Structure 1
Amino acid sequence: MKLTSIQVCAMVLPLCLLADATQAQLYKSVGPDGKVTYSDTPPPATQKLVETKSISTSQDFNNFPYELKLAASKNPVVLYTTSNCKPCNEGKTFLKSAGIPFAEKTVKSNADSDKLKQLSGDIQLPFLTIGSNKLHGYNQDDWKAAISAASYPDANRLPATYVYPQPESAAPASKPDSASTPPKNVAPPAPAPIKKPENDNGFRF
């Protein structure tokens, strides 16, 4: 049976929509006046295409508004905290009230401290990264400026159903490889007996 072009489009369209649900294209272009534009559609002929980036929308920000999705994909936010830290709690409260999606890394062990120092250069907390931008300690004005520079919306645009991920260790312990770890309560095999040569006279050279 020969299909018309309309019938083919009707069959292909759901597949295209399904693909768009898992991955989106972001386009960066520059106009004749030098103005940079970000869009989820290809730029017109008058705009010079500078960069095309594919982002997976299967993460937590799948249902984010476009502006928030773009900011979260280009400049993800990570907050390093520790227990009994008032500035850390104030920082978390500020980020949530501003509608900023972020991952929280906790610093509790020596390994966590080493990881923090490797990333930030010291062990001051809280420590915030917004893309490649690094902020030491909590200063609301500085955090606001950095968030705005990263193109996050001025108002809270998080969906009401969004749930922040659970905090994770800054330096999570690696799980041992079960294939290379011997089972417990199993004695190692006995060494094979050394066969003495028939003409061995006891000397070693």
Structure 2
Amino acid sequence: MSSSRAFHAARMAVLAVAAIAGAAGAQQVFRIVGPDGKVTFSDKPPVDPAVKAAPAAAGTPPGRAGAAAPGGALPFELRQVASRYPVTLYAGPSCAPCSSGRSFLSQRGIPFVEKTVTSAEDIEALNRLSGGSGALPLLTVGAQQLKGYSETEWSQFLDAAGYPRNSLLPVGYRPPAATPLVTAQPVRPAETAAAPESAPAATAPSTPAPQGPTGSNPAGIRF
């Protein structure tokens, strides 16, 4: 009897430890609405009491399917989330973490736009966007910026935004092609050379005033 009680007590202790560990590992993400109505996500509650915050709703549970959409269009459920919290991936060439992040988004079925960072103008724009960090990859979920690739962190914020955990993308879906962060402006042709100044209009020769008779020319005759 004593051995049975000891086994039961040990089992309860293991379950309690497992529950504590699970609670510690599950990091909560808060949905924060600022005074201006801007929605952001954070793993820390806001300090300002005027800012509203609530635990963000988890994403679609595994196994739940969305309504199918013909022609490669996004299902209604996924289209709603993507319109509220669009996802953009900023990536560079020869960037292994960027490739890992891209694969993660594709496997999870996240519709995203990719911006490539290759030129000096792209890098400058990225620094302005990220507050001078310039780290790649950079993922934006709505207004939230996630610097560097972390599958755990990306999953938490995608869940909080309401993206399904399983892909709901239709079979015919094709993601948009990656485009440069800064679009090159076409070079305009040189301004047409200014037209040469027009020659001054020819002036009619002035007619000398008639001369009256003088002492040497009493008749006033002109030749």
TM-score, normalization: structure 1? 0.59
Matched, 1:135 2:150: no
Q: 2:183 aligns with which of 156, 172, 175?
A: 172
Q: Indicate how the Cα distance of structure 1 residues 182 and 142 shifts in structure 2: closer, same or farther if over 3 A, else same.
A: same
**Could you tell me the percent identity over the aligned residues?**
37
Structure 2: tracts of 5 or more residues without a match: 1-56, 58-70, 202-223
Question: Match for 2:163: what amino acid?
Answer: Y
Aligned equivalent of 2:21: none
The answer to whether 1:103 aligns with 2:109 is: no
After superposition, the CA RMSD in angstroms is 2.7
Stretches of structure 1 that go unaligned for 5 or more consecutive residues are 1-36, 38-60, 196-205
8 A contact 2:72–2:171 mirrored in 1: no
Higher-RCO chain (CA-CA 8 Å, sequence separation at least 6): 2
For the pair 1:191 / 2:197, whether they are aligned, the reply is yes
Aligned-partner SS, 2:172: coil
What is the distance in 2 between the residues matched to 1:153 and 1:120?
27
CA–CA separation in structure 1 for the residues paired with 2:158 and 2:186: 35
How far does the alpha carbon of each residue in 1:113-134 deviate from its partner, in whole angstroms, 9 at most, with x for none? Answer: 1111111112100000010110
| Corresponding residue for residue 113 of structure 1 | 123
Q: Greater share of strand residues, 1 or 2?
A: 1
2:173 partner SS: coil
Structure 1 counterpart of 2:87, one-letter code: V
Deviation at 1:164, TM superposition (A): 0.8
Match in the other structure for 1:145: 156
C-alpha distance in 1 between matches for 2:187 and 2:160: 42
1:70 aligns with: 80
Larger radius of gyration: 2
- Could you report, residue by residue, the CA deviation over 1:48-94 in whole angstroms, capped at 9, with x for unpaired residues? xxxxxxxxxxxxx9832222111111001000001000000000000
Corresponding position of 2:169: 158
For the residue of structure 2 that corresponds to 1:111, the secondary structure is helix
Q: State the TM-score, normalized to the length of structure 2.
A: 0.54
Q: Which residue number corresponds to residue 23 of structure 1?
A: none
Tell me the alpha carbon deviations over residues 159-198 of structure 1, each in whole angstroms, 9 at most, x when there is no partner. 1100011110001112356xxx448xx7653234579xxx
The 8 Å contact of residues 72 and 172 in structure 2, kept in 1 or not, is answered as no
Encode CA deviations 1:15-39: one digit per residue, 9 max, x unaligned: xxxxxxxxxxxxxxxxxxxxxx9xx
Partner residue, 2:103: 93
**Could you tell me which residue of structure 1 aligns to residue 42 of structure 2?**
none
Which of 88-97 and 168-177 deviates more?
Answer: 168-177
Q: After the TM superposition, list the runs of 4 or more consecutive aligned residues in structure 1 that deviate by more than 6 angstroms.
A: none
Distance 2:83 2:171 in 1: 20
